[in-house]
Amino acid sequence: MDGDLMAGPSPTPIQLSERQRAILEQMVRRQKSPQRLVRRARMLLEASVNNNNEQVAYGLDSNRNTVRYWRGRWLEAAPALEAAEAKGDERALAGLIEQALADEPRSGAPTVFTSEQIVQIVALACEEPEASGRPVSHWTPQELADEAIKRGIVDSISPRSVGRFLKSGGSQAPSQPLLAQLGPGRSGGLRGRRQGRM
């Protein structure tokens, strides 16, 4: 049986950087990680040690086509992951890794943003709004959407999509939200929390 597994075709190898490997290992260890993400992270970690799809599937009690699919998804995301890592943006990198391992959007909601655009939007959220001439102390989804369009990152984007991209990096996000959260009795963002509540 082991001989048959070793004889499988050699798929395109997965090359993980130290940071990518650390993020995947953290996803596997984190108790709050959804099990589907844990399984996919394990597949990639196994595939990175040059196991063919049959070996990975056998070791994780999965099937070859599933391993092939997630290997392909990772390889598609690799250029954007490398770009985020080159910028030194740990949060954007973690968000992109989670997105690469996330389920595809349901039919009727096709993906219209590239990984590079998402990286740029997440990186924008890490900047101070004042540096972009925005008259706010904390980003809101609407302000980020407007600024992304203004900078030519995207032709158009909804505040809801911006919020979804930022949530995808939740595992590495700070305990305080990046965005201002406006509501009754709250001025929003970190500054509102520091001022206390009456």
Query: How far are the Cα atoms of 95, 117, 167, 168, 191 from residue 102, in angstroms, in the given order?
Result: 10, 17, 12, 9, 33
Rg (CA), the chain: 20
Angle at 46 between CA 164 and CA 116, to 5 degrees: 30
E-assigned strand segments in 145-186: none
Q: Are 126 and 95 in contact (CB under 8 A)?
A: no
Q: What is the pLDDT of residue 173?
A: 38
Nearest to 141 by CA among 166, 171, 123: 166
Residue 9 to residue 184: CA distance in whole angstroms: 60
Task: Give the CB-side neighbour count of residue 116, counting CA atoms within 13 A.
Answer: 8
**What is the mean pLDDT of each successive set of 10 residues along the chain, which is 198 residues long?**
53 89 92 86 90 87 87 90 86 87 66 79 88 84 87 83 74 43 45 41
Per domain, the residue ranges of the chain are 1-76, 104-198
Residue 192, Cβ neighbours under 10 Å: how many? 18
- The CA distance from 63 to 61, in Å, is 7
- Are the C-beta atoms of 95 and 102 separated by less than 8 Å? no
* Confidence (pLDDT) at 111: 54
Cα dihedral 121/16/112/131 (nearest 10): 10
